[in-house]
Amino acid sequence: MRLGIDLDGVVADFNTGWIRLYNEQFDAHLTRDMVRTWNGLLDISHFETMGEFWRWAEQGEAPSMFRHLDTFPGAVESLATLARDHDIVIITTKPDWAVHDTLAWLSDNRVPTNEIHITTEKWRVSCDVYLDDSPEQVETIHRMRPDRVMCRFIRPWNTPIEGTLDVDDWPDFLAIVEGLVTSG
């Protein structure tokens, strides 16, 4: 099967990454659990708009924060297990300035994939199963690809959507894929 996998919030720990950089640069004491909504960083930081945040995140000539994100526990190992029998298709949304850092991050973390799409219209990439945490993407992919399996990686900023499958962690996703293989 083709497995369409999001990065930030699923494989890469975006919130811990930006918070670590923010705390270092602004002598703050934010923690990942403080982010409770999509774009929740506006609720806990000094940034007034997402545009202001993204201008800061670019980091000028230095590598952007996307170059230094941690992976979630078990993410890369689970993808390696899945890659034995399935195609791992990375589908992520990134600003143009983050593309090179994202590609380097994928390489540095040895994410097993031969196919990478950087797009806001993730549903256009045909996969059998999708895994994402974005409330908008989960809803849109499910609506535009109703014949495919849409998995929502449960995070504080998303809510259940009828017809999608909820994923608590990477072992959950492995079990879902295995269940699809044995039932199909």
Per-residue pLDDT reduced to its tens digit, 98-122: 999 999 999 999 999 999 999 999 9
How many Å apart are CA 117 and CA 59, to the nearest integer? 23
CB 41 within 8 A of CB 18: yes
The model carries a pTM of: 0.96
> Over 90: is that where the pLDDT of 62 sits?
no
pLDDT single digits (tens) 158-180:
999 999 999 999 999 999 999 99
Structure tokens that stand for 182 in this block = 């044995």
- Please give the CATH superfamily to which domain 2-13+71-183 belongs: HAD superfamily/HAD-like (3.40.50.1000)
Enumerate the domain spans of the chain.
2-13+71-183, 14-67
